[in-house]
Structure formats: C-alpha cells, structure tokens
Structure 1
C-alpha cells in the first residue's frame, strides 16, 4: 500500500518538475526514477535533488503536486493496482 502512495506522490512531483524544469533536468530524472520504483535509494536521490533546487522552484513543485493530489482523485486512483476500478 505505501509503495503505491510513494509512486503516486513521486509521479505527481515528476509531472510538476517536467512542466517547470523540463524533461532533461536532473531533478526531473530523479523524480521519475522514484515514481517508477520508490525504493529507498531512489527516494533519497529524489529528496536530494529536490533539496538542491532553488527554494522558489522547490516550493512551486510542492505546491503544484499538492494541488494535483488534492483536486484530482483520479491522479491517486490511476496508479493503484487495478487503476481504481472495482475488480
């Protein structure tokens, strides 16, 4: 269950980073890796990449991610096993 929550959060962070920083930015890549597999090493790398950003960028990414997860329940459900569909 918590692996899925990590995937959801890092997927939303990755989308925000791609929109703000671009696909080639190192932070975007680190967030993509953590979204794909939220293993401890990938999570640490993503956290380090976020910490390395200027504060304005980091806050903008967090705000965009929070907004996505707060206002778009499908963003959560689509990443859970079964895509949020009843099975």
Structure 2
C-alpha cells in the first residue's frame, strides 16, 4: 500500500486542481500525470507547477487534498493495485 502513497496524494491533488483550476491548466495536467505514474520526472514537474501557483491556489489545493484523504478512507483504497490489498 505505502508504495502507492504518492499516487494517492497526487490523485487527491489532481481532483482538487481540476475543481479549482480546470482540466486544461498546466498544473492540473501535471498532477494527473504524477497520479498515473509517480516517476521522479513527473513528480518534479508537478511539484514545480504547484510551487508556481499563487499562494492562495496552492494552499486551497493542499487543503482540499488533505480534507479528501482525511475524510474519505476509500480514497486510499481506490489506488491499491489489484491483488495487493491486505498484504
């Protein structure tokens, strides 16, 4: 499970960015890529675009992602690879 923690976080951040910034915003697209494949290059690109956002947007995205992960345990379960639950 914990090897997917980055995917979980980027999935939550992507949903928050889509709602706040729209699906075509460069940060939203970078977060989607990092959520699908959290490889170092994708993670660096997403982090860079997050840092480039105005503080109000960046804070709002982090708050929304944190709330989603805190209040919806299914958000963690949704990204577990098939066949690895409970191991």
Q: Work out whether the TM-score is over 0.5.
A: yes
Residue matched to 2:74: 74
- Name the CA shift for 1:83/1:21 in 2 (closer, same or farther; >3 Å): farther
* SS of residue matched to 1:82: coil
Residue matched to 1:39: 39
Higher relative contact order by CA 8 Å / sep ≥ 6: 1 or 2? 2
For structure 2, the residue ranges without an aligned partner over 5 or more in a row are none
For structure 1, the residue ranges without an aligned partner over 5 or more in a row are none
Q: Is the 1:77–1:83 Cα contact (8 Å) retained in structure 2?
A: no
Q: Higher helix fraction: Structure 1 or Structure 2? A: 1
Number of corresponding residues: 87
Normalised to the residue count of structure 2, the TM-score between the two structures is 0.92
Q: Is the 1:3–1:38 Cα contact (8 Å) retained in structure 2?
A: no
Residue matched to 2:17: 17
**1-structure distance, mates of 2:9, 2:32:** 11
Stretches (4+) displaced over 4 A: 83-87
- Name the CA shift for 1:4/1:54 in 2 (closer, same or farther; >3 Å): same
